[in-house]
Amino acid sequence: MVKDEFLQEHLPKTRVYSPEELWQYAEAFTHVMLKPSGGGGGAGIIQVTARGEENYLVHSGSHRRLVTGKEATITYVESLFRPKTYLLQPRIPLGKINGKPFDVRVMIQRRNRKESWVITGWCAKLAGPGFVVTNVARSRGKVLPVRTAIKLSDIEAGPHLLSEIRMVAAAAAHRLGRAYPTLREIGLDLGIDVDGKPWIIEANFRPSLSLFQKLEDQSFYKRIVSMRKR
């Protein structure tokens, strides 16, 4: 996706974790997200926030700990790692509803490699109290219709936000489909920052349908299931 000029503007700056890179990110962005490569369900995600004078707030799950000193911070952060490679990204200032962040899951499918991708559903995932990850099961959050979430949020949403979400999702599916020709469906997670800009958080190649089952309107769920059967 980085090779796509349009998508470049919607991808957070990402590097492989090392202590040196963490300090560069902390100095440049203050809030840093550490994510296990190939992880899922929001598991193992850590946020490190620089508080000045070598004090760092480490947020994992619903637990927060203030650590003093770079060496002590590295020791503590790495003790939280799962046995995977970790990635670094600046924290996206996600839009919030009553102080809780949310992101958008877009379901994109195609019948086969020769046909075009189709957006078959989308919903908003609202984090539970005290969590920085929006995974509903992990944070005990809620699922909302996208339009409802945007309306209730603090996002400065322009008139073309929904169209831009569709454009980003379609472009991502096109690129990923070329790289993975047998791929038939993608659960794309997009963060919407407070200025109304979509950011690609991750692409799930085996997305669960449970999010769409939680919506009162089941039309997206039925459409997604129908596409899977073809």
Gap between the Cα atoms of 177 and 194, Å rounded: 30
- The answer to whether 73 and 82 are in contact (CB under 8 A) is no
Task: Report which DSSP code applies to 227.
Answer: H
Gap between the Cα atoms of 163 and 29, Å rounded: 29
- pLDDT by position in tens, the chain (length 230): 999 999 999 999 999 999 999 999 999 999 999 998 876 656 788 999 999 889 999 998 778 999 999 999 999 999 998 777 899 999 999 999 999 989 999 999 998 888 999 999 999 999 877 656 555 555 567 899 999 999 999 998 888 999 999 999 999 999 999 999 999 999 999 999 999 999 999 899 999 899 999 999 999 999 999 998 86
Q: What pTM value is reported for the model?
A: 0.84
Gap between the Cα atoms of 44 and 83, Å rounded: 10
pLDDT score for 159:
85
Gap between the Cα atoms of 85 and 227, Å rounded: 34
- The answer to whether 70 and 54 are in contact (CB under 8 A) is yes
